[in-house]
Every structure is written in C-alpha cells, then in structure tokens.
Structure 1
C-alpha cells in the first residue's frame, strides 16, 4: 500500500515538474517582463516630446518598480523587449490619468520613441476609437479617399497574426483581436482601439498630451484631438480623458514676437487705438459636477462672445483661473479659458491669483505650462513674474501695459525699465488690490463697491506701490480678487483704481451682480483712455462708460 502511494506521489511530482517546465518555457516572455520591470528601471524618461514609431496601452502591475517607463515587447508579434515611455502628465496622482485600474494593475498610454536606425517611418497621424470593435472616423475617411481615386492598396488583405503565449498567467500584453487588418497601406491597428499612420511624405507627430475633464477643445495651431472625452469608467473618478497630438510645422506669425527680458512689443491692430479686455476670477474646476461643467461652458462662451464684439488687441487675465484644491487638472482648466484667444489669435497674459494652485502640481509646473501656450505673453516674464508690454501709435506716442505678479515686489523690475516713465499712456494690472483701494471719506466712484476682503499682502513695498506707479505715469490700475466689486474709484493724483468684476458664471458674488468683464481703450487720436464693462445677461450693452485719462 505504501509502495503504491509512493508511486502516485512520484508521478504527481513528475507531472508538476513538467507543468512548471512547460509554464516557464511558454510563459518565459511574460515572466522576463515582470522580472525586469520589478527589479530594473529603463534609462529612458516619460514622454514629453519627440518622434515616435508606436503607441500602445500597456499594463503596469502594482509590484513594478515604477510606471513612468516600462519594458515590454516591441510588437504583438515579437518577443524583443524594448523600453516604452508613458505619456507625461504633470499631476502627482498618476491614477487620475490611467486608462484602467484594477487590484493588480493600472494601464496607461505608452509610446516607443523613434530611432533613425529602426528602419521604419515615425508616426504621422494617430486615431483612437472609443471601443476596440469600432474604427475611427478618420481611418474610414482615408479609406474612402483611396476608394474614390481607385487606389488598389485598399483592396489588399494585410493580415497580421498575433503570437499568443500558451500560458499567460502573468498577464502579458495582448491585442484584443487575433487577426488585425490594416486598411490601405497607411493605417495600422495596434489593439486597444489605437490606429497609427506612417507616411514618408507627411509631417510626423512630435508631441502627445492628455487632458482630463469635460469641455476641453483643442485650438492650438498644428494640434488636433486624437480622441475627445473618452469615458474610462473608473468608479468614482469618471473624468473623461482627451488625447491630443502636435504635428511638426511652422508657428503662426502672430505668435512670433520679438521677446526681450521681461518685455514685449505688441502690434496695434486698429492703427490709432489699442483695446484691452480684462477677465478675472473664473474659478474653473474642470470636475464632473454637472453645475460646474455648465457654468464653465457658459463662462467660456461669454468671453468668446465679448471678444467677437470688441476684438481687443490684448486680453489680461487677472487671476483665480483655478479654484484651488477643487480644481483637478489645471491644464484642462487653463486651456478651456484661453481657447477663444488661441482660436482668434489674440495675445493674452496672466497675473496669477490666490486660488491659482493645484494639489496635484507645483507652482512652477503651472507657470511652465503657461509659458508654453501659443499667443501667451507669460513666456516673456521676468524671474519674478512681471511683464511690460509696449506698443506704438503712428503719431509716435508710446503705450506700456504692466502685468504684475501680486506676490513679488515690483520696485526692482520698474528700476530696470526706467525708460517707460516717459511713455504717454500707461496701465497696470494685477490680481490683488493695493491699500489705496480702501479710501476714506468722500471719493469719486463709478460702479459697485460691496466687498473689502481681509487679505493682507506680505510685500513690504505694498504701502508705497501707489506712489511708485504714479511716478511711472500709470493712469489706472485694475485688479480682480473681490467678486462683488466692479467699480473704478479715483485715488489721490487722479490715478484710477478699478476692478474687473468677476467673470465666472456661478461663483459667489453680491445679489444682483452678474458675471462681467472690463475693457480699456487707449485712443491716441483724441488723447483718451476710456473704460466700460459688459455683463453676461446683457452682453450687447455696455455699462459704466467712463474717462480714465483725457489729454489737456
């Protein structure tokens, strides 16, 4: 009896050994991938820009060393392991932009960077479908074009059989189709709904970016959305994900300014006048809250409608674009706000506010993102965040417009631009009001003055800022921050101190006040600076029209 049990035990051991050997043989590729990603780290970095030759959705298991770069098979039909780079997203919580999240792994969008020695062309176009069983519209449109011109390549049957592991307990990457067809000679299917196009006669993709939340629309030159608001269905975090790509190409002429240290020369579009639109305190969250989505949609269209009525030469955004910790993807919020300006090729500048921060990004990351936006003048700011923008009229009269950082001293900056003291017209913008916004006694005022916030600046020069600006011939200063104020009040020395009002729809403000914007016009023919407002409910009407400066 004992001998029989021993024989059975030996047989079971042999079978187990055989199964282990078979498992290691047929699943060795997946096993090696897991070992390398657990104990080694690729020398490459996350993808920010550069030519690419492949795009895939890849699983990153919880026990991997990190998810920024991974070792994975070069293709579904090859065992050759190469380094893949995740598309970079400047958010500290990487789960926010994962495609899928489970107990054992998360998936992200990865690229393989192109090498000249690879023997294949870099990707020139990318399309992603909402489901792997669907073909993106762009792919079908390209195929229809081939059919119309009788290109026989569209009728060729290009079949790529995927190599499968006998045992795949380690979860190696697999395409969702056993047989993958390429339509025509250009498009190739990579699985997961991803289609890549390679043509030697087209400009290649040089950058890919990811945006979270509703309401994102790509408007930058040479950029195009690959997929718009893809629903990932990640439990409580259901923010849609948009992917956009940049094609190599020339910059817009309007974005090729002559940058100097902390100053920039602007074009006067209207010959003898210069118009400025001030937007402030939109407090975008870019969350999945229905009310927030609707409010932000209305705010963006309000700004766009004002621009098409006024056609300003410059848009100044005086802070609180974000809503602090309530904002999830700061990049989506900023892009949503500036989309009308980029689309209409109007330069704009930011003076950041007290709510312009993110719990998922640093202040420097936010500022770097601003400096890389097209038509954004913040790329010319000083190390302290100040900017001086100049323009000249046909008569030879000069204009200077300052955008100050509310949290940095301005005296050293102004001392480096003493020549601007003699400019005929000067205006200043920043987020926070200065002490002279709290006058005592009787004073001239136009508009509503309902709020006096308790914010105390930490700048030692705050008490002398008014005098300093007057010495530089600044005719008016305009700020944001206080939602229930939209007035202009006259301070000593005839310098006007104005509020933009608050532009965001749905934010807290005094009863009866509407979302509004402020405009300034410098008219060199009549030697005037005037100002007025437009509000959300009566956009075709102007209110509180006033003179800021009149040449004597």
Structure 2
C-alpha cells in the first residue's frame, strides 16, 4: 500500500514537471501568436527558452533600413521588433535589428558579445581582430564578437557562453535588465529614452541548471503553492510605484520625480526585510508614458528580479484609458510576467473568473499542510464582482483555521468608516471614495476567514483601520500608501513614500504588520493584526 502511494506521488511529480515544460513552451507559442508585423518577424517579447530547448544560438545580428512599412529581411534572418527608433516615431526610415538563429550542432560560429552604439567614423579597418565584426548603418553601430565552432567535433563546448536570443528594449540610464543571464547594451549613457539591446548569454551547462530551476518553479506555480519551513513568513507589499519609460515624471508643481529614487528605496527595503514573497497591488507602471511595456516592467521589477525573490502582481488602474481589444493589453502583460523567473502570475488562471485577469491564491505549505493563503484579486475598473467572491468561497471552503491575507488595488467602501473607529497610521485622504464594489463583499471576505486586507490606490493613506462587525467579527483594512516617487500626491507634495509588510509567526501564532518609509528607511507602526488585542 505504501509503495503504491509512493509510486503515485512520484508519477504525479513527473507529470507535473512534464506539464511545466509544456507550459513554458505554451507561453512562448502564445506570445508569438500575438499580433506583430509579419510572418518573417520574431517578437522580442518572446522568451528565449524556446531557443534553449532546441539548442539554438545566434550566429549573426545586423541592422536593416526600411522605408516605412516596406522591409527586406535577409534570407535566414528574423526581424526583431520593436524597431530601434521606436522612441522617435515619424521618421521616414525605420531601423530594425535582424537576427539569425541556427542549431549549434550545424553552426560554424556563434555570437558571444554584442554592443549597440552610435555611428562611428573611426571604426577600425585592417586592425580589427579576426573574431570581431562591425555593422554600421546611419546612426547605429553594432560591435560583434564571435567564437568559431567545429560541428564535426560536437560544436560548442558546454561551458562556452553564447548568445541565444536578442531583444530590443528601451530605457534611460537607470534601466537594467535583471533577468538571469541577460546582458544589456545601451545605445547611449544619457537620460533620454534610447534603445537597449538585451542579449541572453548562457552556456549549455548553465542552461541545463537554469531550465531545471524554471521547471521546478513551474510545478509550484501550477499548484499555486509556496513550500516553507521557517518559523516566520514575511510578505512585502508594493503599490502605486508608477514607473515610466523616462527617468521620472513632471509633477503639477513643476518638479520632476525620480524612478531611480524609487528603485533605491525598494532595494534597501528588500535587503533589510528579506521578504519571502512580494505582492504588487497595482499601478506598477504608467502605460500612458511608456513606449514599450516590457521595458518599463523590467525596469520596475529589477530590484525583485536581481534578488531572485518570488512575487505576484495584480492590476490597478494601469489599463484605464488604454485602448485594447478583447483584453489584448492585459493578456500581453500577464504573458510577459509569466515568463519571468519566480513570478506566480500565469495564464492558467487568466480566464478562470468572469472579472479581471489577475486573480490568484498562493498556498503556503508548511510541515506538509497548508498553513496560509495569500490571495490577490484584480479590481478591474476599480471594483470587485460576485464571481470573485465565489472564487474566495471556493478556495477557502476546505481551509478554516489558517492565516489568510487578501490583496487588491481599489479600496472597499468600508475604507471610509463612519463614526469612531480604531486606526493605526496616517489617514489623510477622506474625499468620497465612490467605490463600485458592493459593501456586502466585506462580509464575504470575513466569512472566508481573512484576517486583513491590503490595498493601494490612495497615495497619501497608510493606515490600518479596524472594521468591527456583529458577533464580534473584526478585520483590519490596511492601506499601503504610494511607494513610487512618481505617484502624484495632491495634499502634500513632500509626502514620504512608504511600503507595508505582513509577517506570519507560526510558532507564536501571530500575524503582524508594519511599514517602512523612504525618508529614514526605517520600520514603524508595528501592530498586531491577529489575534486582535
């Protein structure tokens, strides 16, 4: 009997790993099926995993010049979109990178270094090293270095780091591609938005290890579980960062915000607190001041990606006012996020609910049992709907006495309490909330056993409000405050940015919360969430 159970468990794990690999490939296929220029185009939003899985490498990269929509792509090459001068639309000519991929087993050379820069008048001629080539076209110069391979002798050595994929991104001097094995080459070092070529450079040995890591996490993502053995599980909430393509945002008072300042604040907080999970409750980016959503997402997430932290994202008001067809914009964002390492967002849950596209429940598993639920809901169009309450009941029916935290962007009506109420923190924005969410939903949330709700949206509120109900039922409703320097503050232009933390202490059976502020980067307003004093 025991042997049968063991075999079934082993078989299930094998099937999950196989499904994980298929999911990775499926994400790639879905990304490539989204609209792009033509059939001879490789979208640079595509993950490089497909090339790794089929043992390909980049054997050459060049630049082509197109007359508006008329392009001649060399045979064997694929056009990398978007175009290099995407940040400067309106030009008669358009410039694209084109890349040639080839199976390593048949290649005679592979690309190992790639740099993009302005045109050079002094490109070396006779003194160019034999492994180096330059491509110069108008305002652009590519510097390329190759390593020769010998197909008859097994091609590339397993420890040789070769470029497997090339992407065109955009940013300023504060942009970094923090994904593992990605190397970014900036066109220029100034603070104007410019093209950045990001190359995935990885050896076969590294790829084997990396793909195993991705497949292992994909199993957890499909099960939506977080195995954890420590005594304290810590969640760091980020909200309303409002990253854009440029270095900052022009504010109403004429000042210019600093996205780099936000990055430094988040980095310091992550290093000091060392959270187990990061929950992003919307308004991560300002799409209306972004020319490439992938680039600005990578910019915003670089503190998390560079620290190899697990995270989950749900939407705020990013999509308000953004034209889209059948959720195409949100689909692209979720697809791209799902391709990032350690991100719990996935397409598996994309159409599981009638409302929103980013609804997830992560089960923290400790000592072989579910010990906590970390749930995020998508407050699409600034509201929650019945389908999401049904989802909460469905995922919580079998889990009564565990710790539960719920996160979404737009506050419930009860975040504007009447009369006297208990509060910890600053409660500055008191204008009518105009919440479209049914007020009865808070009863549903309490019935499902949640001890606290964490929201964003209101940039100058950082308080936790105790909402008290009949039968001695209570729940803390907690604001995060704006974390990003580019988040507009109407009441106080000098408002100090903050972020919130929650910590489950399994041994003491306590749930705590506190905040960190950007000014002195310290923790403050430590409070007991559960049990309620």
TM-score (norm 1): 0.72
Alignment pair present for 1:193 and 2:142: yes
Residue 217 of structure 2 is matched in structure 1 by 257
Deviation at 1:222, TM superposition (A): 1.7
Separation in structure 2 between the aligned mates of residue 448 and residue 286 of structure 1, nearest angstrom: 31
Residue 494 of structure 1 is matched in structure 2 by 474
Contact 2:313–2:358 (8 Å) recurs in 1: no
SS in structure 1 of the partner of residue 460 of structure 2: coil
Separation in structure 2 between the aligned mates of residue 262 and residue 247 of structure 1, nearest angstrom: 28
Deviation at 1:46, TM superposition (A): 2.7
Alignment pair present for 1:206 and 2:206: no
SS in structure 1 of the partner of residue 271 of structure 2: helix
* Greater C-alpha Rg: 1
Pick one of 59, 76, 94 that aligns with 1:53.
59
Separation in structure 1 between the aligned mates of residue 38 and residue 126 of structure 2, nearest angstrom: 29
Q: What are structure 1's unaligned runs of at least 5 residues? A: 1-40, 73-81, 135-175
Separation in structure 2 between the aligned mates of residue 487 and residue 532 of structure 1, nearest angstrom: 10
Separation in structure 2 between the aligned mates of residue 274 and residue 458 of structure 1, nearest angstrom: 33
Separation in structure 2 between the aligned mates of residue 449 and residue 551 of structure 1, nearest angstrom: 20
- The within-5 A match list for 1:69-148 is 70-72=72-74, 82=75, 84-89=77-82, 95-97=85-87, 102-103=91-92, 105-114=93-102, 120-132=108-120
Change (3 A) 1:404 1:453: farther
Contact 1:386–1:405 (8 Å) recurs in 2: yes
- The within-5 A match list for 1:416-455 is 416-419=394-397, 421-452=399-430
Size of the alignment, in residue pairs? 442
Contact 1:281–1:483 (8 Å) recurs in 2: yes
- The within-5 A match list for 1:401-416 is 401-407=374-380, 409-416=387-394
- The within-5 A match list for 1:297-446 is 297-356=260-319, 362-379=329-346, 382-383=349-350, 384-394=357-367, 398-407=371-380, 409-419=387-397, 421-446=399-424
Deviation at 1:212, TM superposition (A): 1.3
Change (3 A) 1:454 1:367: farther
Separation in structure 2 between the aligned mates of residue 118 and residue 261 of structure 1, nearest angstrom: 36
Deviation at 1:197, TM superposition (A): 1.5
Separation in structure 1 between the aligned mates of residue 190 and residue 175 of structure 2, nearest angstrom: 16
Residue 516 of structure 1 is matched in structure 2 by 498
Deviation at 1:420, TM superposition (A): 5.0
Alignment pair present for 1:479 and 2:455: yes
Change (3 A) 1:259 1:207: same
Separation in structure 2 between the aligned mates of residue 488 and residue 242 of structure 1, nearest angstrom: 42
Separation in structure 2 between the aligned mates of residue 118 and residue 395 of structure 1, nearest angstrom: 48
Deviation at 1:113, TM superposition (A): 3.2
Change (3 A) 1:447 1:44: same
Deviation at 1:252, TM superposition (A): 7.3
Deviation at 1:419, TM superposition (A): 4.7
Separation in structure 2 between the aligned mates of residue 427 and residue 381 of structure 1, nearest angstrom: 22
Deviation at 1:188, TM superposition (A): 3.3
Separation in structure 2 between the aligned mates of residue 538 and residue 420 of structure 1, nearest angstrom: 43
Q: How big is each residue's C-alpha offset from its partner over 1:42-62, in whole Å with a ceiling of 9 and x where there is no partner?
A: 852235454432111111023
Separation in structure 2 between the aligned mates of residue 375 and residue 243 of structure 1, nearest angstrom: 23
Deviation at 1:458, TM superposition (A): 5.3
Deviation at 1:506, TM superposition (A): 4.6
Q: How big is each residue's C-alpha offset from its partner over 1:403-434, in whole Å with a ceiling of 9 and x where there is no partner?
A: 11112641342344245532410101111111
Contact 1:263–1:387 (8 Å) recurs in 2: no
Separation in structure 1 between the aligned mates of residue 426 and residue 532 of structure 2, nearest angstrom: 27
SS in structure 2 of the partner of residue 410 of structure 1: helix
SS in structure 2 of the partner of residue 537 of structure 1: coil
Q: How big is each residue's C-alpha offset from its partner over 1:146-197, in whole Å with a ceiling of 9 and x where there is no partner?
A: xxxxxxxxxxxxxxxxxxxxxxxxxxxxxx77x566524x333344333142
SS in structure 1 of the partner of residue 474 of structure 2: coil
Change (3 A) 1:109 1:230: farther
TM-score (norm 2): 0.74
Deviation at 1:95, TM superposition (A): 4.8
Deviation at 1:266, TM superposition (A): 1.6
Deviation at 1:111, TM superposition (A): 1.4
SS in structure 2 of the partner of residue 334 of structure 1: helix
SS in structure 2 of the partner of residue 341 of structure 1: helix
- The within-5 A match list for 1:270-289 is 271-287=230-246
Separation in structure 2 between the aligned mates of residue 232 and residue 83 of structure 1, nearest angstrom: 35
Separation in structure 2 between the aligned mates of residue 259 and residue 328 of structure 1, nearest angstrom: 34
Q: How big is each residue's C-alpha offset from its partner over 1:441-481, in whole Å with a ceiling of 9 and x where there is no partner?
A: 1111111112246565556xx33321222122110010000
